[in-house]
A and B are shown apart, each in its own frame.
Chain A
Amino acid sequence: MNRRSFIKFSALTGTSATLASCGNPEYHLIRFIPEDRLVAGIAVWKPSICPLCSAGCGLTVRVMEGDAEVIRDGKLGVTKMGLAKKLEGDPQNPINQGKLCTRGQAAMEVTYHPDRLGHPLKRAGSRGDGKFEEITWDQAMAELTGKLDALAAAGNQKSLAILTRPQRGARGAVLAEFANRFGAAAPLAFEFFGNDVIRRANEMSFGKAQLPTLDLAESQFVISFGADFLGTWNSPVAQNVGYGQMRQGRPGMRGKFVQVEYRMSQSGANADEWVPVKPGTEGVLALGIANAIMKQGTRKASDAGHAGTLVDGWMTGLADHTPQEVEKKTGVTAARIERLAKEFSGQKPAVAIIAGAAVAQTNGLFNALAVNALNALVGSVETAGGIYFTPQPANLGTGTNFAKNGEIGAGAQVLFVDGANPVFASPKAWKVKEAISAVPYIVSFGNFIDETSVMADLILPDHSFLESWVQSAPESGAKTAVSMMAPPVMRPLHDTRATGDVLLEVSKKLAKPLNMPWQKFEDAVKEQPGGNAGRSPLPKPAPAQAAKYAEPQFDGDAGQYGFHFLPYPSIAFLDGSLAHLPLLQELPDPMSSAIWSSWVEINMQTADKMGIRQGDLVEITSSQGSIRVPAFPSPGIAPDVIAMPVGQGHENYTRYASGRGANPIEILAPVKEPETGSLAWAATRVKIAKAADADGRLVLFAGSLRDYPPEGMHR
């Protein structure tokens, strides 16, 4: 096998400028031994974990030998190495069972992205202008330790702030321990489409502050209130696997599926029955169904147990929520409510799900409590075909500490940003950008320049997930606790370092070392998670006052702002964090077939009345500002609603996403769900007007506007 230990090296034109500080690359042989397990042309399979969403699906990665340009000791050369070629679902994994979603399939591009950051960077221009210079890791570490030592010397440890995405497992543990030992506040997690309301409701109803695992494979009747469980919410692969089984996996048996929502999601598109409701009235509809079930006599109020007591009037039969009353509020006819009640209580097992816009209202918590009570009424909690709460490893927090206005950076002297992009994904009114600008020193561990990391003074780019130890213990997706870890699949392509290792090294280098419990990140990975819990009965939830229905509140006067505005997670980009991947930019949206575009969905008749045709540029204005985006008239949306996928509209996020489309988050009003304080992202009203420019640059895979006459195309 001598041939394979032969190492090629070459000078690459165009790179000498960036490498000037590292000497002359032509004269350096890269001593990098290829992996001996690899034989040219023969694939080996290695385990890993999909990092793109919190579902944490297990991967098997196809690895083959190939030639790659790599950087070692600051020198660039070409070497033979094992390269990840394709990601597949791990058939052994109880969550994704050998399958992956479309995003997981594209996760490869994170590693090989041409705009991935390959070296430590130091700000060279004024903050936010995107000018950085390359520095060595030694310089970078010295710089970071210096800043932290200065904080400690001034007794100012509290002014270190850490902002992450929700992190479960080793990475979160290292960050939290670092903060703790240094004397800083616990890291704040930032997630636009967070699940805080659902977790709070589940804690109140069932004593579990966590997302449910849906046992769809066994269900006979599924009613979902706004949850896009087949597209983007919770554990989509696991839920699709179960859904396929529910529909056609049991001979002679086919589960029915009803979706309640006011804009047809990809999930809703699969429903046998699609039930549009007025925004924010999902919980009332659930109570109308519960009222009818109780009246039909198949279940009594007390069957719902504790979850029922949390809803005002439940124990006395929900007298205020007769189908007739509920019809007035929701727009769903009393007859339909009664029929749904019969089906829901008559089919066993039946399950209700709530997520999405239904909980992103000012009364979101109430809506979730109402649906929880409905589930409890028919006995679908912790039973086959219903919802389960996956046992959680003892040392993993599930709460997300949502970062809100003013919390980010208030009083911070040094800010660590780990994978979160709140400058993009928060309403303008939160003034996150201003808050972050006020922090004297910002360190980012991201792999890419985005709207938040561009503000950094120091960037310490992480390995990609394929290049580092990975570990995950997903909150939901399988009935049993799942915990997985995997070593690196391939060697790093760039001069990056695993963030866990960087923090551990810094902790040793500080003037007052932190004595972290791990030497290397690998140690933390191997230790997590401890004490896997077995299944145990649900704990007794704390008593709480019964919640009363309150009308949802919307920002913007209904007369002036005639439309409800619904931003929704895009199948391709989720909250926008995946807009940098070309595979996902060119993925046709399931509902519109749009690629490389932004668009706003508007009811067809409404569009006709306003003279808006497919592709026409529309101006959307809320009390917070306006954006312009091409129209996509659709029958699957209520006449007084417009909806827009989140994800495009990046100012600064690689060559593929920058300057493309518009960001609906920008114009959201800072309305909150009062109990949890999380953003009610479906509670903004807007007005729309046709903009002067005719061409909105909407590209559809099923025929682009430039090549097809727009008239009649929308059918």
Chain B
Amino acid sequence: MTHRWGMAVDLDRCTGCEACVTACRTENNVRIAGPEESAKGRSIAWIRVERYYEGDFPDVRVKFRPVMCQQCDAAPCEPVCPTYASHHSEEGLNAQIYNRCIGTRYCANACPYNVRFFNFGNPVWDRPLDLPLNPDVSVREVGVVEKCTFCTQRISAGKDQAKAEGRELRDGEIKPACVQSCPTSALVFGDLNDPESAVSMLSRSSRGTKLMDDLGTQPKVTYLKKEY
């Protein structure tokens, strides 16, 4: 059976701690833009935590929402790419092939979630900050678009491991970096084709919603709403 990877985000657990944000950066060799480039809006984050203030002092509330690529089944970023750099994988992931990307940025404009980032220059790691770069993840150079992959390198490694041991993958065995680090377990990852998987069960929750579902993008990330 092929897999269909998805994620559930429990907003009632998320505390906005941003462990996921740094975990993702270090796992996926996401560059540091530095203060000048950041001031031009060029800081890259495959996962970000959005905050929504509601009300005025003293009746104030805040909601946090981690947002990463929603891995849409009907992904608006795919048909607009002239080189098929942004395409759909067999396991339902929206994948970006960096060396096909010619930097039109049509995909980034088409994506309603604002999760695609363009590399305006070559990344710089002041030596020896380059030493901990993850050899399993390519470093993106100038002119290409990048975004969350659901840690595809971890998915492959998990599948390889299961195969080497001659067994099926276990639910929860594969964890993207953000999921692994999230202290409150707000993030859950797994196979949506397995109805018993934790992510499938959470995705069926009555608290579940999809971001901008009405656009018809069919995201594979389900947000479980915060309760009061």
Contact = CB atoms under 8 A, between A and B. Distances in A.
Interface of A: 41, 64, 66, 68-69, 83-89, 96, 98-106, 108-109, 112-114, 230-231, 236-237, 240-241, 243-244, 247-249, 254, 264, 266-267, 269-270, 272, 274, 276, 493, 571, 582-588, 590-591, 593, 595-596, 603-605, 634-639, 655, 660, 697, 699, 701-704, 706-707, 715
B26 A105 contact: yes
Given A69-B128, A86-B132, A243-B15, A99 B181 contact: yes
28 contacts: A69-B128, A83-B131, A85-B135, A86-B27, A99-B19, A99-B183, A101-B17, A102-B21, A106-B22, A114-B128, A241-B185, A244-B10, A247-B227, A254-B12, A270-B64, A571-B18, A582-B32, A583-B25, A590-B51, A604-B57, A634-B53, A635-B56, A636-B60, A699-B39, A703-B41, A704-B38, A704-B40, A706-B39
Contact of B184 (A85, A105, A243, A604): A243
A604 B77 CA distance: 38
B186 interface: yes
B26 A114 contact: no
B127 A264 contact: no
B132 A240 contact: no
Given A100-B19, A266-B16, 16 more contacts: A69-B127, A98-B180, A100-B181, A114-B127, A240-B183, A243-B13, A247-B184, A247-B227, A266-B15, A583-B26, A585-B32, A590-B17, A605-B56, A699-B35, A701-B38, A703-B41
Contact of A108 (B61, B132, B177): B132
A693 B150 CA distance: 44
Contacts of B166: none
Contact of B62 (A248, A636, A701): A636
A466 to B, nearest CB: 10
A593 B19 contact: no
B87 interface: no
A227 to B, nearest CB: 13
Contact of A105 (B22, B43, B133): B22
B156 to A, nearest CB: 13
Decide if the interface of chain B is mainly helix, strand, loop or mixed.
loop
Contacts of B55: 635
Nearest to A698: B39
A634 B16 CA distance: 17
Contact of A113 (B15, B21, B129): B129
B107 interface: no
B49 interface: yes
A270 B16 contact: yes
Contacts of A660: 35
Contacts of B51: 269, 590-591, 593
Given A102-B22, A699-B39, A114 B15 contact: no
B23 A635 contact: no
Interface of B: 10, 12-13, 15-19, 21-23, 25-27, 32-35, 38-41, 43, 45, 48-51, 53, 55-58, 60-62, 64, 126-129, 131-135, 177, 180-186, 224, 227-228
Contacts of A587: 18, 21-22
Contacts of B39: 596, 697, 699, 704, 706
Contacts of B50: 702
Contacts of B58: 274, 276, 638
Enumerate the 10 nearest inter-chain pairs by beta-carbon distance, A residue then B residue, closest first: A244-B184, A240-B183, A269-B62, A105-B22, A596-B35, A99-B183, A114-B126, A590-B16, A244-B13, A102-B22
A230 B48 contact: no
B19 A231 contact: no
A84 B132 contact: yes
Nearest to B24: A105
A41 B131 CA distance: 14
Contacts of B40: 704, 706-707
A596 B126 CA distance: 17
Contacts of A64: 135
Contact of B45 (A243, A249, A637, A701): A701
Contact of A112 (B25, B132, B181): B132
B113 to A, nearest CB: 14
A236 B53 CA distance: 23
Contacts of A88: 180-181
Given A41-B135, A101-B183, A595-B38, A276 B48 contact: no
B59 to A, nearest CB: 8
B45 A588 contact: yes
Nearest to B177: A86
A603 B58 CA distance: 10
B43 A586 contact: yes
Contact of A102 (B19, B57, B129): B19
Nearest to A97: B183
Given A64-B135, A699-B38, A699-B39, A241 B183 contact: yes
A596 B131 contact: no
| Residue picked from B13, B33, B48, B131, most chain A C-beta under 10 Å | B131
Nearest to A268: B62
Nearest to A91: B180
Nearest to B50: A702
A588 B180 CA distance: 20
A655 B35 CA distance: 11
A248 B27 contact: no
